[in-house]
Structure 1
Amino acid sequence: MGVIATYDARKVTTTVGGVILTGFPDGSFVKCSKDNDNFTTSSGAQGDVAIAISGDALGTIEVTLSQTSPQVSYMDKLAVSRTIVPVWVNSNNEVKEVTGGTKAMITKPADKEYGKEVTNRVYTIKVFDYQVK
């Protein structure tokens, strides 16, 4: 019999400036990605290969909150003030993952949409020292 593993979204925490974000909508609520590859390669006419190691440590974390989240105004204020803060996403599931950095800024306040139903607020966070632990 194969391995049976479980995942629980309640074991994923996202902190921005030391504040734990809450009030996520249904579905995917946080996405983390490194902006560029760790290296590039080139191949010569006779097949020799050169590898250029990248020192680029930029990453992007996209957080989706429900418009009713208590942290919406906090995130908007951080974006407007252009404050540099630490951002960490911790998954304490069976496979432990830590992603983020100590220096990050929210690119802009979330777009606002209002209607009959609760809408989402999406924040793009640029991480200047992106790490995967």
Structure 2
Amino acid sequence: MANYNTDLVTVIVDGFIVTGFADGTYISCGRNEDKREFEVGAQGDVVVVENADDTGFFNFTLQQTSPANSVLRALFKSGASFAVSVNDPNDNSASSFASECYVANLPDNEKEEGSGDREWEILAADYEEI
């Protein structure tokens, strides 16, 4: 039987260890475009096309009380690039990294009866899974 432990997953944004993730799917990351695709000629010849687009994304869902909200808000306001890494040492899990990232926009400013969530979208210019 395999085990998976979410406590082993670490997210680092601009050197800050992110904590205070919301329940459910709290991290989503990936490439914006396929790395490879086929082009098929008129006579059925197949060519593998390598896509040079290495852009990607990191989406985080944080609790409203997470200290990372202030860090991400400051990075958005500065407009400066920063690094993001998601390290998952669980068996058969991929880790992701990008050295040139930007906060796409501020999350919606919603107020709820209880503690709400904040959804952050990070744009990555050089996304890679390692």
Q: TM-score range by the shorter chain?
A: over 0.9
Alpha-carbon separation, structure 2, partners of 1:11 and 1:110 = 26
- Determine the C-alpha separation between the residues in 1 that align with 2:56 and 2:92: 21
Gaps of 5+ in 2: none
* Distance apart, 1:95 and its partner CA: 2.9
Q: Superposed, which structure 2 residues align to 1:1-133 within 5 Å?
A: 4-133=1-130
- 5+ long unaligned stretches in structure 1: none
TM-score normalised to structure 1 length: 0.92
User: The residue matched to 1:52 in structure 2 has which SS?
Assistant: strand
Of residues 37-46 and 102-111 in structure 1, the stretch that sits farther from structure 2 once superposed is 37-46
> How big is the shift at 1:81?
1.2
Contact 1:57 1:128 in 2 (8 A): yes
Amino acid of the residue matched to residue 24 of structure 2?
G
> What is the TM-score normalised by the length of structure 2?
0.94
Q: 1:94: Cα distance to partner?
A: 2.5
SS at match of 1:10: helix
1:48-78: CA deviation from partner (whole Å, max 9, x where unpaired): 1122211111011101100011111111111
Q: Which contiguous aligned blocks of 4+ residues in structure 1 show a shift greater than 3 angstroms? A: none
RMSD of the alignment, in Å?
A: 1.2
